[in-house]
Amino acid sequence: MKIKKAKKQDAKEISKMIKQTLSKINVKHYPPEIIDYLKNKNSPERIEKKIIEGIGYVAIEDEKIMGSVFLTSDLVTGLYVKYKLINQGLGKELLKTIEKKAKKLGIKKLFLNVQIVNIIGVLPNI
């Protein structure tokens, strides 16, 4: 798995990966209106805007996007991993990458948007 800086032309594939994950995983924990809201929030146009206005990274395997993460100022958003790869450490690697970039930029504290499904997955490990 390779992690690289996201480009504008990645927006459509990032959006598709996020929407697949929302449909397969998050649908178990949220009502349909919330899933629809999250899908709209992660449209290709909005992803492209995140890439232009901030910093984004994608995890690539076999030329396909398997994960994403974005940084705007001190806020980490868009941390998603393809549903088939959840709990395999990819999200952790994406976070490490964005944290290194933030340190280089002089950002001392980061804030992370987290969905409840992610907290449920982390709790047994705390």
Domain total of the chain = 1
Tokens in use for 3?
A: 């992690």
pLDDT of residue 123: 40
pLDDT tens readout for residues 51-64: 999 999 999 999 99
pLDDT tens readout for residues 13-67: 999 999 999 999 888 888 899 899 999 999 999 999 999 999 999 999 999 999 9
3 contacts 94 by C-beta, under 8 angstroms: yes
The model's pTM is 0.86
Classified as helix, coil or strand, 118 is: helix
pLDDT of residue 110: 92
Name 66's Cβ contacts closer than 8 Å, sequence gap at least 6: 1, 17, 58, 59, 60, 81, 82, 85, 90
Residue 57 structural domain: 2-125
pLDDT tens readout for residues 76-123: 999 999 989 988 999 999 999 999 999 999 999 999 876 655 544 444
What CATH number is associated with residue 92? 3.40.630.30
